[in-house]
Amino acid sequence: MGVHIVNRVPRSISWRCLLCWGIGLALVQYGSPAKAQFGFPAQDIVAIYLFNGTDEASYRKQLEARTQLKIDSVIRVAGLGKVQSQKLQLAAKGDLNRFYRDIDVVRKETKGLNIQNQQDAQKAWEIVSPLQQRLAKGLLQEGSLFQKVLDSVLQPEQEEQYEEYLEKQNAARRRAVIRVTIADIERMAPLLNQQRQQLIRLLDSKKPPQKVPNGYTPYLGYIMLTRIKPEELEEIMDEAQLKVFKKVKQQYAAYARSVTW
């Protein structure tokens, strides 16, 4: 059903520890005012790590609204009929309910942990992070009941329409990521406007990866940069700029080897 790209940078263990430790310090410092500071009870671990500073009821409403937008876009783009649409609605509801059940399980597993303690904070994150990763990937993406039902209900012409829509969406995201990547590199190697436009056209012309591992999308521009031949860059850049771009390409070579071209 096409390449589904997500937009989340994987967190390192050390970063997670710092996050947990920092939140713990905030709660130690503010005590009961932490409820006003973050918008949820001080020891609501799932809310702290999963709900972006809101309560569960509000977050559920947001999640269900985003889910409905996704369903509506599929129905509109693929031109689904009433029966097909109802099946998708039920499948999406099933994915959401499963996620809510998993939240309840995580709440029980984190009960009694005190995130003012660094060790407990790290343990809490390790328990909650699989749910956070599922949210980052998207509850209706590959492997979900919604996706399986969608694959089964689409007629050939509807599937073609939907695939075309997905490709356009992915292409738009790639273009945006490429431009952000170039802007980031320019902090080390400023480019003339003509050079910048040439590099953008060159990257846009490169065939993108067929599949990107979860969490790699922010690096997509760098990954595609590794596909540019040295002689192609030499036609655009001066010697000092080439040194910077060569270093960047080497830094992301391992990422490029991890994707499917």
Convert the pLDDT of each residue in 117-153 to its tens digit: 888 888 988 999 899 888 878 899 888 999 999 999 9
Average pLDDT over residues 97-105: 94
Q: Quick one: average pLDDT of 203-207?
A: 83
Q: What residues contact residue 40 under an 8 Å CB cut-off, 6+ apart?
A: 47, 48, 51, 53, 54, 55
What six digits make up the tokens of 25? 């310090």
Element (H, E) at 28: helix 13-30
Q: Name which of 35-39, 61-65, 67-71, 220-224 the model is least confident about.
A: 35-39
State residue 185's pLDDT score. Answer: 87
Other C-beta atoms within 10 Å of 74: how many? Answer: 22
Is 39:55 a contact under the CB 8 Å cutoff?
Answer: yes
The string of pLDDT tens digits covering residues 219-237 is: 788 888 888 888 898 888 8
Helix axes 145-153, 82-110, angle to 10 degrees: 170
Q: Tens digits of per-residue pLDDT, 46-55? A: 888 888 778 8
Taking the complete model, does pTM exceed 0.95, yes or no?
no
User: Residue 38's pLDDT is what?
Assistant: 41
